[in-house]
Amino acid sequence: MRKFTLSLLAIGLLTSCQRGPREVKIAIAEPLTGDIAALGQGLKRAAVLAIEEANASGRFPEFKLRAVEFDDRSDPKEAVNVANRIVSNPDIVAVVGHFNSGCSIPASAVYARAGLPMMNAGSSSPQLTLQQLSSHWTGPRNIFRVNTTDDAQGLFAAEFAAHSLKIKTVAILHDKTAYGQGIADVFQEKFKELGGTVLSFDGVQTGDKDFKALVTRIKPLGPELLYFGGTYTEGGLILRQAREAGLQAPYLTGEISYDPDFLRIAGGAAEGAFVTYLGRPPELLDTAKLFIEKYRLAYPGSEVKAYDHYAYEVTNILLSAMEKVGPDKAKIIDALRTLTYEGVLGTTSFDEKGDTFNKTITLFVVKDGKFVPHE
Amino acid sequence: MFVSGNVIFEQVLNGLTLGGIYALIALGYTMVYGVLRMINFAHSELFMLGAVGGWGLLALWPGGATLGGICVIFFVAMVGSGLLALFLNRVAYAPLRGSPRLTPLLSAIGASLFLQNVVFLWRDSQLAFPPLFVSGHFHVGHLDVSFLQTFIILISIFLMVNLTLFIRKTRLGKAMRAVSQDAETAELMGIPVHRVVALTFFIGGALGGAAGVLNGLYYGSVKYNMGFAPGIKAFTSAVLGGIGSVPGAMLGGFLLGLLESLGAGFLPKPEWKDVFAFVVLIIVLLFRPAGLLGKNRAEKV
């Protein structure tokens, strides 16, 4: 047995010496299976697309880029496992990930200890980048993200409810995750500040399907608005079951529901639902047209999902930093701090926390089974 | 808090609907446990496959299924899930008969992962389940009653009544009871134990498939990983009612559904519903370790 292991080791060493151009690896850590696997697969496809384009273009003559995929299953524990595996591989110079704020935050601490640049597309909790300013933060400020955050989104939603919809009372639900509860808290605080009344503030269990009892309980309170912080899996079911139970108040939720799956889950009940979105989605960005074309060409039959352009952009930003300073972790982080990038999202540069200066929010309303921008 | 009679009635109806679905799934766990003393952890995937299969068939009725269509879908989903249960028994469990108890358990978990991933590779997103041919509410006095909920409760009760009649009144049902009491003696009396076990798998799977279709109709969407949470809840129901006991699984299912919906409806915080349901489970098991209707049997040595 030992002989066998030794010979395997020898083969491994030999092959690693033999390979031709040097390989530089970029980890892609997203939820590739689990409840929101469809989103994670899209993010992965977009990041891989950026890497393969860079290889084909000859931007990096000295080495070959390789994407290494990791699956965090939307599970914070698994995200930390994945992060430890990533930092233990010396060939990996940066990570693109994670998607869920609940995964990104614990994993980011692991990356920081290893000084690995963390390129984030999709996590929207302000906490992710904010934590780097605390005195407990060990390591460089290594997190960069291209989408804006829930504080912007929650504030926008509360102002929209109070000023445009002229809503006075709301029932708030959230899914008890870093993302869902975070955005619900921001909404609640701002809505109260604007003079509104919060009739109820309740958490639901992710993975639960039956919210009939909950909406039956909320109905007699007579809220003028339902606000939900969480993913479309629960949100779509809550909306559908609320309508079935006769609760007709308008429904407002966050960017993750900007997804065809939300429409499929909620069915006809989705009609009239309001969804805030971080930034602008690819199909509304002139600068993203080329990206969409290339994506469709590379992955026939896959729809471009709502975050895919973020993953593509953040990977390209990483590559452009790498082009300047080479595959060196610390140098990449320094280069990213001062980088200005023109791409799919327009102009991106990062503030001292690594957050983008671009803080646009787009509001959608569901009309005839489609998301329509609401002006 | 002021609570009107209407709200209580609606919450009871919510609970019974949920409970009916739990009970149908729980029957699959409990029947297999009854004859083999084994937990079929792949059972929740039979439920999922019934739902996803039902979704595939519903494409034949794009405008929402008619009454006839629903009957066809139930029939195909039940027979399909039942045959799949037979197949699982053949490839994953039967070869392990006589091996230590943990071996078929691992095999079951493997089968469950396999089935989930097969469906995942086929369709990885939510699949919208078209609505039932009737929708909306009807009125009984002051009460609003949903057609869909009534339909689900009636179908689940109908299936359970038929199952009970089958087990009580037919020769095969008698054989099943005999095998569950003592498989060895039953075999000595000339009962084809292997065939009875296969039949048990078939019926359990078919009920799971029916529950899958009901679940799809009720929640409006199905997905490859939808089996997990209801599977755990149904298993809990089976334990609550007494695992191995058919009426126990029915009682446990309805009870758990009611506990959850009344918990979410009337506890100070609706989030406490699962805590509430499981506290009741623990209290029941403290006083009746074999479950509400389970029999304490002497362990064979």
> In this structure, is residue B292 part of a structural domain?
no
**Distance (Å, whole) CA A136 – CA A126:** 17
- Domains contained in chain B, number: 1
Kindly report the CATH number assigned to the domain that includes residue B82: 1.10.3470
Give residues 233 to 292 of B whose Cβ lies within 8 Å of A: 260-266, 269-271, 273-274
Residue A197 neighbours by CB under 8 Å, 6+ apart: A168, A169, A170
> In this structure, is residue A254 part of a structural domain?
yes
**Do residue A143 and residue A155 come from a single domain?**
no
Q: State the pLDDT confidence band at A2, using cuts at 50, 70 and 90.
A: low
**Do residue A210 and residue A265 come from a single domain?**
yes
**Do residue A168 and residue A134 come from a single domain?**
no
| Range in A149-158, A329-338, B291-300 the model is least confident about | B291-300
Residue B17 has pLDDT above 90, yes or no: yes
Q: Which two tokens stand for residue A125?
A: 């909790």
Q: State the pLDDT confidence band at B1, using cuts at 50, 70 and 90.
A: very low
Residue A12 has pLDDT above 70, yes or no: no
Measured between beta carbons, the chain A residues lying within 8 angstroms of B126 are 233, 236, 261, 264-265
pLDDT at position A223: 96
Residue A9 has pLDDT above 60, yes or no: no
> In this structure, is residue B214 part of a structural domain?
yes
- Domain end, chosen from A236, A258, A278, is at A278
Regarding predicted confidence, which is higher, B268 or A49? A49
Q: State the pLDDT confidence band at B126, using cuts at 50, 70 and 90.
A: confident
Q: Express each pLDDT in B197-231 by its tens digit.
A: 999 999 999 999 999 999 999 998 999 989 998 99
pLDDT at position A206: 86
Residue B256 has pLDDT above 50, yes or no: yes
Q: Which two tokens stand for residue A59?
A: 């931007």
pLDDT at position A7: 55
Closest-CA residue to A126 (of A308, A311, A353, A315): A353
> In this structure, is residue A251 part of a structural domain?
yes
CB atoms within 10 A of CB A211: 27
- Residue A222 contacts B where some CB pair is shorter than 8 Å: no
Averaged over A362-374, what is the pLDDT? 94
| Range in A62-71, A134-143, B76-85, B193-202 the model is least confident about | A134-143
In this complex, do A265 and B225 lie within 8 Å of one another by their Cβ atoms? no
Averaged over B157-184, what is the pLDDT? 94
Residue A94 neighbours by CB under 8 Å, 6+ apart: A26, A27, A116, A117, A118, A119, A318, A322, A329, A332
**Do residue A120 and residue A199 come from a single domain?**
no
pLDDT at position A344: 93
pLDDT at position B64: 67
3-class SS at B225?
Answer: coil
Domain region containing B261: 5-287
pLDDT at position B124: 78
Residue A16 has pLDDT above 80, yes or no: no
pLDDT at position B298: 53
Domain region containing A223: 150-278
Q: E strands of chain A, at which residues?
A: 22-30, 63-71, 92-97, 118-120, 143-145, 169-174, 197-203, 225-229, 251-253, 274-278, 341-343, 346-348, 361-367, 370-373
Q: What is the ipTM of this complex?
A: 0.85
**Do residue A174 and residue A53 come from a single domain?**
no
Burial code (b: 16+ CB inside 10 Å, e: under 16) for B262-301 equals bbbbbeeebbebbebbeeebeebeeeeebbbbbeeeeeee
Distance from CA of B166 to the nearest CA of A (A): 31
In this complex, do A264 and B127 lie within 8 Å of one another by their Cβ atoms? yes
In the sheet that holds A22-30, the strands lie side by side as A63-71, A22-30, A92-97, A118-120, A143-145
Nearest 10 degrees: CA dihedral of A197, A199, A201, A206?
-120
- Residue B146 contacts A where some CB pair is shorter than 8 Å: yes
**C-alpha Rg value of chain B to the nearest Å:** 19
> In this structure, is residue B294 part of a structural domain?
no
Measured between beta carbons, the chain B residues lying within 8 angstroms of A37 are 120, 124
Identity of residue A265: I
Measured between beta carbons, the chain A residues lying within 8 angstroms of B51 are none
Do A92 and A68 form a contact (C-beta atoms < 8 A)?
A: yes
- Concatenating the DSSP letter of every residue in A202-215 gives EE--TT----HHHH
**Do residue A183 and residue A242 come from a single domain?**
yes
Kindly report the CATH number assigned to the domain that includes residue A191: 3.40.50.2300
Q: State the pLDDT confidence band at B3, using cuts at 50, 70 and 90.
A: low
**Do residue A7 and residue A144 come from a single domain?**
yes
- Domains contained in chain A, number: 2
Average pLDDT, chain A: 91
Averaged over A326-349, what is the pLDDT? 94
**Do residue A66 and residue A191 come from a single domain?**
no
Do A313 and A121 form a contact (C-beta atoms < 8 A)?
A: yes
Residue B265 has pLDDT above 80, yes or no: yes
Alpha-carbon distances, residue A295 vs A53, A76, A119, A315 (angstroms): 11, 29, 20, 14
**Distance (Å, whole) CA B208 – CA B244:** 16
> In this structure, is residue A366 part of a structural domain?
no
Q: State the pLDDT confidence band at A95, using cuts at 50, 70 and 90.
A: very high
| Range in A277-281, A326-330, B188-192 the model is least confident about | A277-281
Closest-CA residue to B197 (of B94, B278, B106, B277): B94
> In this structure, is residue A32 part of a structural domain?
yes
Residue A3 has pLDDT above 70, yes or no: no
